[in-house]
Amino acid sequence: MALSRTPPSPGGTGWFPVARSADVGTAPVAVGAGDRPWVVVRLRPGGEVTALSPRCPHRLAPLTDGTVVDGLLQCSRHGWRFTADGRCRDIPALGPDAAPPPRADLSAPWAVEERDGWVWIAPDRTLHHRPPRAAAATTAEPVPELPAPAGPVVGNLEPALAHAWHPVALADQLDDGGWLAVRLLGRTWTVERREGRLDAGPAAWGVREHLGVVWLAPDRPVGEEVEVPSAPGIRSRWLSPVRTSAPAAVVVDAFLDPARGGRVPSVPAVTTGRGGFTARWTDADAAVSVQLGAPLQLVRREDLPDGSVRWAVLLVQPEDADATRIHLGAFVQGAAAPASRAALAAEVDRLGAELADVVTDRRWTGTAGLPLTLREEVHVATDAPGVALRRVLADFLVAARRAEGSTTVQDTTVRTTEEDTDVAAA
């Protein structure tokens, strides 16, 4: 059969126009080709256009937030760097001599070309080795949404979170005889204090005051609580609560991350216990330990070289699908004497800056929740606390759903806790 000489439509050739050449520089641009999302970027000013898969495999961060550094595409979250063909060249948290794990590479389309002022992508092999000529009616392909994780995700409206104590206000915000309207798990609750007694409406399993915080449990709690420092000489203060659009579990994962901010810590040692875990590692200037109580209570302790100790107590309030309120407490202890007010003020300022980094940084937003299936992401040795968090949350979901009489979640949790080998490989 003779081949048709009629000019085919762009999609029929296997080539798709994705962006005008003039619009693609050294800042990554989201595009679509073949109903799949990609990012396009020039890894050197005026260089050829590179097209790669749109998420960093590490924490699924969108690479549109990335930057070009030394001819490589660098993820904004942990600094992973990728070559033009998608190969992962560098993982800062592992140090300069470590080899990236096997699944760290990005995927690339079959071909990328520029023609007639347009960038064209052929996602798969095609018989047409060049894209068709552009016409006046040529337009860029629509950009698909980034694919959601295939496995379970813990978002702010996860029903199992009803089986936990949640912070809803600082105690000094609620005077005797007063009331507050608070949001929790997509619902509005009214918390009142009458003659020293707390009540909540609609009816909840419990409401209490603890550690200077008002807590509410919608249903019978099945999680575990962390131990908060209390000893003579410790000074403490709660920062003013702040709100972020990042899901609560993602916020905890960010604070738990030893490599956040480009740090290169020692490999964390994780000890898992009933309803939580403890992780320890050495940072540049401190011995760090974190304790997590399921589902989302976190205490981070740092022992400093001068003998002083500082703690950060992180409590998160999942208000709505796109709103989390963060309660952060600063605790300090001097080396040989009670901590000074100046030391506490300095720690409040330091934690405030750390909190502002998480709240204002869009890298932590734009996701429905924290993926629990470990194969959804690529983990390295320094990710051990994050892996432990995912496993603890998976176990919490099982316990909560069993409390509700469900028996359909065990298989999912087994897959969540057994599917990843990258931590060991690293």
35 secondary structure, DSSP code: T
Q: Tell me whether residue 24 is exposed, middle or buried, using C-beta atoms within 10 angstroms of its C-beta: 0 to 12, 13 to 18, 19 or more.
A: buried
| Residue (of 284, 264, 300) closest to 97 by Cα position | 264
Write out the DSSP string of 228-271. Answer: PP--TTEEEEEPPPEEESS-HHHHHHHHH-TTGGG--PPPPEEE
Report d(CA 40, CA 231) in Å as an integer.
55
Query: How confident is the model at residue 258, as a pLDDT?
Result: 85
Query: How confident is the model at residue 150, as a pLDDT?
Result: 85
Residue 325 has pLDDT above 90, yes or no: yes
Helix (H) or strand (E) holding 19: strand 16-20
Q: Tell me whether residue 146 is exposed, middle or buried, using C-beta atoms within 10 angstroms of its C-beta: 0 to 12, 13 to 18, 19 or more.
A: middle
Lowest mean pLDDT among 18-27, 138-147, 313-322, 366-375: 366-375
Query: How confident is the model at residue 264, as a pLDDT?
Result: 67
Query: How confident is the model at residue 363, as a pLDDT?
Result: 61
SS3 of residue 72 by DSSP: strand
Residue type, 418: E
Query: How confident is the model at residue 273, as a pLDDT?
Result: 86
Rounded to the nearest 10 degrees, how much is the dihedral formed by the CA atoms of 265, 297, 275, 59? -50
Report d(CA 7, CA 196) in Å as an integer.
81
Record the tokens describing residue 194, joined without a space. 């009458």
> If pLDDT is split at 50, 70 and 90, which confidence band does 20 have?
very high
Q: How far is CA 376 from CA 65, 103, 363, 392, 422, in A?
A: 20, 11, 18, 17, 12
Residue 40 has pLDDT above 80, yes or no: yes
Lowest mean pLDDT among 127-136, 231-240, 263-272, 408-417: 408-417
For the four alpha carbons of 338, 341, 343 and 347, in that order, the dihedral sign comes to positive
Burial 327-341 (b: 16+ CB within 10 A, else e): bbbbbbbbeeeebee
What mean pLDDT comes out for the span 405-416? 45
Query: How confident is the model at residue 139, as a pLDDT?
Result: 95
Helix (H) or strand (E) holding 344: helix 341-360
Residue 135 has pLDDT above 90, yes or no: yes
CA atoms within 13 A on the CB side of 270: 20
| Residue (of 317, 304, 330, 326) closest to 229 by Cα position | 330
What mean pLDDT comes out for the span 300-313? 94
The tens digit of pLDDT for each residue in 55-66 reads 999 988 899 999
Query: How confident is the model at residue 408, as a pLDDT?
Result: 45
Query: How confident is the model at residue 265, as a pLDDT?
Result: 73
Place of tokens 């981070």: 300
Report d(CA 167, CA 368) in Å as an integer.
21
Alpha helix stretches (DSSP H) within 85-168: none
Report d(CA 353, CA 373) in Å as an integer.
32
Contact 391, 276 (CB under 8 A): no
Contact 181, 189 (CB under 8 A): yes
Residue with the bigger pLDDT between 107 and 283: it is 107
Contact 26, 66 (CB under 8 A): no
Record the tokens describing residue 61, joined without a space. 């961060």
Q: In what order do the strands lie in the sheet with 16-20?
A: 16-20, 118-122, 111-115
Write out the DSSP string of 135-156. Answer: -TT--PPP-PPPPPPSS-EE-T
Query: How confident is the model at residue 32, as a pLDDT?
Result: 97
Query: How confident is the model at residue 359, as a pLDDT?
Result: 79
Query: How confident is the model at residue 364, as a pLDDT?
Result: 63
What mean pLDDT comes out for the span 5-30? 82
SS3 of residue 352 by DSSP: helix
Helix (H) or strand (E) holding 416: helix 410-418
Query: How confident is the model at residue 10, as a pLDDT?
Result: 61
What mean pLDDT comes out for the span 132-137? 93
Q: Give the mean pLDDT of the chain.
A: 88
Query: How confident is the model at residue 7, as a pLDDT?
Result: 42
Query: How confident is the model at residue 95, as a pLDDT?
Result: 82
Record the tokens describing residue 358, joined without a space. 């998480």
| Bridge partners of residue 209, in order along the sequence | 214
Percent residues over pLDDT 90 in the chain: 71
Burial 216-252 (b: 16+ CB within 10 A, else e): bbbbebbbbbbebbeeeebbbbbbebbebbbbbbbbb
Query: How confident is the model at residue 424, as a pLDDT?
Result: 36
Percent residues over pLDDT 70 in the chain: 90
Place of tokens 């629509």: 142
Residue with the bigger pLDDT between 376 and 29: it is 29
Query: How confident is the model at residue 368, as a pLDDT?
Result: 85
Tell me the backbone φ, ψ of residue 233, rounded to 5 degrees.
Answer: 95, -5
Taken in order of first residue, the domains within the chain and their CATH numbers are: 11-122 (2.102.10.10), 165-220 (2.20.25.680), 224-425 (3.30.530.20)
Query: How confident is the model at residue 58, as a pLDDT?
Result: 92
What mean pLDDT comes out for the span 18-25? 97
Residue 144 has pLDDT above 50, yes or no: yes
